């Protein structure tokens, strides 16, 4: 064992069993209304009109992690839609259903406990279902590096993405001392002010926190026992519960924050690796336009004609859409609803959802 590793409190250990993946597919994705609805949440949205965000996430994991070891965690209200989506992609029993939507600390603890019960101890890669990532080969190489690092150092490894701009809406991690093929995370900073984000990015010492974690199930269990013992005990019980009613009762009691806040920001066993891929959170239509707009600054999906138009996103499911003499807009037609918004207002579509609820227009939610 190297003295430097011992000094960091990160003992080296041998490699674990084969890795599994837990894909977190929660949330309604209200900022992608009207394409994303209660019955068809954001991970089922297809940015290219063909492949859903969830399907792309499952695909890019293979062959590094075989389909039999890929699990998707969803809320009970979305179970039917996700069951249809994963059919033929991963085994249907690998759909892990939360009886009640909770934050990521609960989701990860429960999902990992189910995987551990099903497959035994091993490495687990946890990631959201709704990010745009390319190339897939770079993503797999990053996950493989994170898996080795987590196994060798008995650590939780977080993936950091080199920032392409100062983004105040993202979380950041500060790069610390070198550990193997990764680094010690010096600290986490959540959503800094724009001026501070500019300084951080210019320094070259910070990475975007992509919300992806790699660790062994043993490491996760131990860290939960230290930082959230009630959650660890509940997750173990719930993973072995044969009663839906008992699972629901247990879930109702769990009031925990995000996995970052509950575990990662408090643990002394956190390392990081630098992503070898381009990453886009695509949290809104504006985010999708930024991610896919390229040099033209425009994104078209479906039957669209644009004349004398610039910096726009046009998405039509079935009908011809014509843009003429407009700029900086988001136009989305899903057949039963049409959205036309200035691109800067697109991230605030929660206000539209609130207005639909106020008017009792629940069929559009």
Give the C-alpha separation, 97 to 82, whole Å.
10
Give the C-alpha separation, 35 to 277, whole Å.
27
Average pLDDT of the chain to the nearest whole number: 90
Q: Is the pLDDT of residue 14 over 90?
A: no
CATH code, 3-280 = 3.90.550.10
Q: Is the pLDDT of residue 9 over 80?
A: no
Q: pLDDT tier at 15 (50, 70, 90 boundaries)?
A: very low
pLDDT of residue 113: 96
Q: pLDDT tier at 3 (50, 70, 90 boundaries)?
A: very low
Tens digits of per-residue pLDDT, 35-75? 888 777 889 988 877 899 999 999 999 999 999 999 999 99
The span from the first CA to the last CA of the chain, in angstroms, equals: 56
Give the C-alpha separation, 170 to 137, whole Å.
24
Q: Are 167 and 281 in contact (CB under 8 A)?
A: no
> Which H or E run includes 86?
helix 79-86
Q: How is 4-33 classified by DSSP, letter by letter? A: HHHHHT-------SPPEEEEE-----GGGT
Nearest to 122 by CA among 66, 53, 178, 191: 66
Q: Is the pLDDT of residue 8 over 90?
A: no
**What value does the mean pLDDT take over residues 107-116?**
96
Q: pLDDT tier at 121 (50, 70, 90 boundaries)?
A: very high
Q: How is 92-137 classified by DSSP, letter by letter? A: GGGEEEESS---HHHHHHHHHHHHHHHH-S-EEEEEESS-EEE-HH
pLDDT of residue 161: 96
Percent of the chain with pLDDT over 90: 68
Give the C-alpha separation, 220 to 218, whole Å.
5
Number of alpha carbons in the 13 Å side-chain half-sphere of residue 340: 5
Ranges of each domain in the chain: 3-280, 285-364
Tens digits of per-residue pLDDT, 21-35? 999 997 666 788 898
């Amino acid at each position: 064992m190297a003295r430097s590793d011992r000094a960091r409190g990160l003992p080296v250990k041998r490699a674990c069993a084969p890795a599994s993946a837990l894909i977190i597919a929660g949330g309604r994705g209200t900022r992608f209304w009207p394409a994303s609805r209660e019955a068809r949440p954001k991970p089922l949205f297809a940015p290219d009109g063909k492949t859903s965000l969830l399907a792309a996430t499952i695909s890019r994991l293979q062959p590094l992690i075989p389909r039999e070891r890929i699990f998707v965690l969803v809320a009970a209200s979305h179970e039917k839609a996700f069951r249809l989506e994963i059919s033929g992609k991963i085994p249907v029993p690998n759909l892990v259903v939360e009886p009640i939507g909770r934050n990521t600390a609960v989701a990860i603890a429960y999902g990992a406990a189910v995987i551990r019960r099903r497959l035994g101890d091993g490495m687990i890669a946890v990631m959201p279902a709704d990010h745009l990532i390319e190339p897939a080969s770079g993503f797999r190489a990053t996950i493989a590096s994170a898996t080795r690092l987590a196994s060798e150092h008995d650590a939780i490894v977080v993936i950091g993405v080199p920032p392409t701009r100062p983004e105040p809406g993202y979380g950041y991690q500060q790069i610390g001392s070198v550990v193997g093929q990764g680094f010690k995370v010096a600290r986490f900073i959540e959503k800094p002010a724009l001026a501070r984000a500019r300084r951080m990015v210019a320094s070259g010492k910070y990475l975007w926190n992509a919300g992806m974690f790699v660790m062994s199930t043993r490491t996760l269990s131990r860290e939960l026992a230290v930082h959230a013992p009630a959650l660890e005990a509940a997750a173990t019980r719930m993973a072995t519960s044969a009663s839906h009613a008992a699972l629901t009762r247990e879930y109702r009691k769990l009031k925990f924050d995000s996995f970052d806040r509950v575990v990662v920001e408090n643990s002394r066993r956190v390392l990081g690796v630098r992503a070898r891929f381009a990453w886009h959170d695509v949290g809104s239509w504006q985010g999708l336009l930024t991610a896919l707009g390229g040099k033209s600054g425009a994104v078209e999906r479906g039957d669209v004609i644009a004349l004398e138009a610039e910096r726009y996103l046009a998405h039509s499911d079935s009908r011809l859409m014509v843009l003429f003499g407009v700029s900086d807009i988001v136009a989305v037609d899903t057949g039963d609803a049409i959205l036309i918004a200035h691109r800067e207002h697109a991230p605030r579509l929660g206000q539209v959802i609130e207005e639909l609820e106020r008017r009792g227009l629940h069929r559009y939610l």
